[in-house]
């Protein structure tokens, strides 16, 4: 499996390398220029870089406004198409590229002036002179093919600023690019070149077919492995360690499966683009496909990347919780059931938080790669988030307190707790509420923010605390010895010794009351077993006292008026 992981990584690298020529054909565009601030009303007047294409290749980048109201790019593209058609239709066509300086066709005429408008006229003349000088400095490129002259383009100051050079240097650079591009286009239409590219296309197609079949075979194995993990009993009903490890393996298999699918798509898509780029006649289709699918492709990568990150985070969470559970298991084997409930709850809460966080980040990244300025969105989301947080303070308190209840293991599902005036068996706990079932069968829902002081009656171990009354006439030492004998026999009884932890403690005389002398006994038990042990111990004490003629004094409640003799 590790070998195939390296194969897939190499395949993705080679596929991405094969698309590099396609990317080189596209203009290097500043996204801040192409996608201006959403709040900018003059975004259509911003200057962007656009390409003039020859056989699908970006021949030259030119600067135009985003709206391109004068259709400059379309005009220049049509000029280039006419030039290439004339040059390529003849094998021995002669090519010459010239650069001419623009001249002012109209004289500057001084308008009629009045003393009041003299300053305005002077400013207008200065602007006209500057425009005329600028027009004179604009080089115009023309192409002569077999004595036939074609206009190509006029270089502007914005074209020069796009590359950070002066206008004359930019004109010379465009002429060299045009010369090299036309000669390359003619060379690529020769039979020798086309035959070589055809052989390369056949070899590439066979390689794509073979590698695709191998990847499909691995996909089948991974699918079968995932089904086996899900169908195994340990995936659902095994121990906590086994389930966590099984889920970790399933998440890793899922990530590998999606990576193989990505490799298939990259292989087929990248291979198809590579084949289209081999020939000058189809390279334009390659460019159009790449340009049209650029944003959907980026969005797909973001979605797939987010999904893979979520699955990897699940695997890491399961691995971490598995290590935590294993450490606790070695230290305290008797707490497996309780630990299982705690780990399951913590794992579920952590996965939920990570999922929501990664999806939110993925949505922001998707909006960004789609060309939407997320600055205003983040500002608006911050304001909305502040308003929501103020309106849901209690909910936030519930969530925070619920998280610490679970993290600190204050109680878990299956515990018996007392919160304030209510108590019962914990049936469900989440970040918001705790649900209890009391002795009358009532379901009590408590917001976690209200859980301030909690008494857990079943955490790790429990205790039987009994006060046994005897009359003042009874020998206390005899009663204590009898109680100790009953307690020791019960702790060694095969039916009860697993529920009782350690030796019972006879504390002795605890109180003198109206009913008599009270003897106190402590018995340490397993969680939730204190009531069963207490009931059985009381039964045995009653039987032993009856046999020893020890009377348990009754509680006398005097009611009404007491009559005295006069």
Q: What is the pLDDT of residue 483?
A: 92
- Give the torsion through C-alpha atoms of 331, 337, 338, 344, to 10 deg: 100
Q: pLDDT of 294-350, one tens digit each?
A: 788 888 889 888 988 888 888 888 777 777 666 655 455 555 666 666 677 677 778
Q: What is the pTM of this model?
A: 0.53
Q: What is the pLDDT of residue 336?
A: 63
SS3 of residue 433 by DSSP: strand
Residue with tokens 């009860």: 496
According to DSSP, residue 459 is labeled S
Please return the burial class of 543, using the count of CB atoms within 10 Å of its CB with bins 0-12, 13-18 and 19+. Answer: exposed
Spatial strand order of the sheet with 505-512 comes to 462-470, 517-525, 505-512
Q: At what angle do helices 240-276 and 191-231 cross, to 10 degrees?
A: 170
Query: What average pLDDT does range 20-27 have in this prediction?
Result: 40
Q: Tokens for 328, please give them.
A: 């606790």
Q: What are phi and psi of 553, to 5 degrees?
A: -65, 140
Q: pLDDT of 51-70, one tens digit each?
A: 888 888 888 888 888 766 56
Q: What is the pLDDT of residue 543?
A: 92
Q: pLDDT of 368-406, one tens digit each?
A: 888 787 777 777 777 777 777 777 788 888 888 888 888
Residue with tokens 């429990």: 462
Residue with tokens 């906590």: 240
Q: What is the pLDDT of residue 447?
A: 93
Q: pLDDT of 119-157, one tens digit each?
A: 665 666 666 555 555 555 688 888 888 888 898 988 988
Q: What is the pLDDT of residue 374?
A: 77
How many C-beta atoms lie closer than 10 Å to residue 62's C-beta? 22
According to DSSP, residue 556 is labeled P
Q: What is the pLDDT of residue 4?
A: 47
Please return the burial class of 181, using the count of CB atoms within 10 Å of its CB with bins 0-12, 13-18 and 19+. Answer: buried
Q: How far apart are CA 257 and CA 324, in angstroms?
A: 28
Q: What is the pLDDT of residue 494?
A: 87
Residue with tokens 């460019």: 287
Q: Tokens for 506, please give them.
A: 């006879």
Domains and CATH numbers, the chain: 43-101+129-187 (no CATH), 198-400 (no CATH), 409-456 (2.30.30.60), 462-547 (3.30.70.100)
Q: How far apart are CA 471 and CA 473, in angstroms?
A: 5
């Amino acid at each position: 499996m590790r070998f195939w992981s390296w194969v897939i990584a190499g395949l993705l690298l080679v596929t991405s390398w094969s698309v590099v020529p396609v990317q080189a054909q596209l203009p290097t565009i500043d996204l801040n220029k192409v996608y201006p601030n959403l709040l900018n009303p003059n975004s259509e007047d911003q200057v962007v870089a656009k390409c003039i294409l020859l056989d699908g290749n970006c021949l030259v980048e030119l600067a135009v406004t985003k709206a391109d109201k004068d259709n400059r790019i379309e005009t220049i593209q049509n000029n280039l198409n006419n030039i290439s058609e004339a040059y390529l239709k003849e094998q021995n066509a002669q090519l010459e590229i010239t650069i001419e300086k623009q001249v002012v066709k109209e004289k500057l005429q001084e308008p009629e002036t009045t003393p009041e408008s003299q300053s305005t006229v002077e400013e207008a003349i200065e602007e006209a002179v500057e425009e005329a000088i600028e027009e004179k400095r604009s080089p115009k490129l023309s192409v002569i093919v077999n004595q036939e002259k074609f206009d190509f383009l006029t270089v502007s100051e914005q074209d020069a600023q796009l590359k950070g050079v002066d206008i004359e240097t930019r004109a010379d650079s465009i002429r060299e690019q045009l010369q090299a591009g036309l000669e390359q286009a003619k060379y690529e239409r020769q039979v020798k070149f086309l035959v070589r590219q055809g052989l390369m296309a056949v070899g590439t197609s066979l390689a794509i077919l073979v590698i695709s079949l191998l990847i499909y075979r691995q996909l089948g194995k991974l699918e079968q492995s995932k089904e086996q993990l899900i169908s195994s009993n340990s995936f659902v009903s095994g121990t906590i360690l086994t389930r966590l490890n099984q889920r970790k393996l399933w998440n890793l298999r899922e990530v590998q499966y999606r990576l193989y699918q990505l490799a298939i798509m990259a292989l087929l898509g990248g291979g198809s683009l590579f084949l289209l780029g081999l020939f000058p006649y189809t390279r334009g289709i390659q460019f159009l496909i790449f340009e049209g699918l650029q944003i959907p492709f980026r969005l797909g990568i973001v979605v797939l990347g987010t999904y893979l990150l979520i699955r990897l985070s699940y695997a890491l969470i399961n691995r971490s919780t598995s290590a935590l559970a294993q450490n606790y298991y070695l230290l305290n084997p008797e707490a497996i059931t309780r630990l299982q409930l705690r780990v399951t709850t913590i794992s579920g809460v952590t996965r939920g938080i990570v999922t929501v966080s990664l999806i939110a980040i993925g949505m922001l990244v998707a909006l960004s790669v789609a060309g939407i300025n997320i600055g205003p969105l983040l500002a608006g989301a911050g304001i909305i988030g502040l308003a929501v947080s103020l309106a849901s303070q209690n909910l936030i308190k519930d969530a925070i307190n619920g998280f610490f209840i679970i993290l600190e293991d204050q109680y878990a599902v299956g515990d018996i707790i007392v919160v304030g005036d209510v108590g019962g068996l914990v049936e469900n706990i989440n970040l918001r509420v705790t649900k209890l079932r009391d002795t009358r069968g009532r379901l009590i829902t408590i917001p976690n923010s209200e859980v301030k002081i909690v008494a857990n009656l079943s955490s790790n171990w429990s205790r039987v605390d009994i006060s046994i009354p005897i009359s003042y006439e009874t020998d206390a030492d005899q009663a204590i010895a009898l109680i100790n004998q009953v307690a020791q026999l019960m702790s060694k009884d095969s039916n009860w010794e697993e529920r009782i932890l350690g030796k019972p403690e006879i504390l002795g005389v605890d109180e003198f009351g109206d009913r008599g002398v009270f003897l106190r006994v402590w018995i340490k038990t397993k969680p939730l077993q204190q009531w069963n042990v207490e009931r059985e111990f009381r039964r045995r004490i009653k039987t032993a006292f009856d046999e020893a003629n020890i009377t348990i004094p009754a509680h006398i409640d005097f009611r009404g008026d007491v009559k005295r003799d006069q």
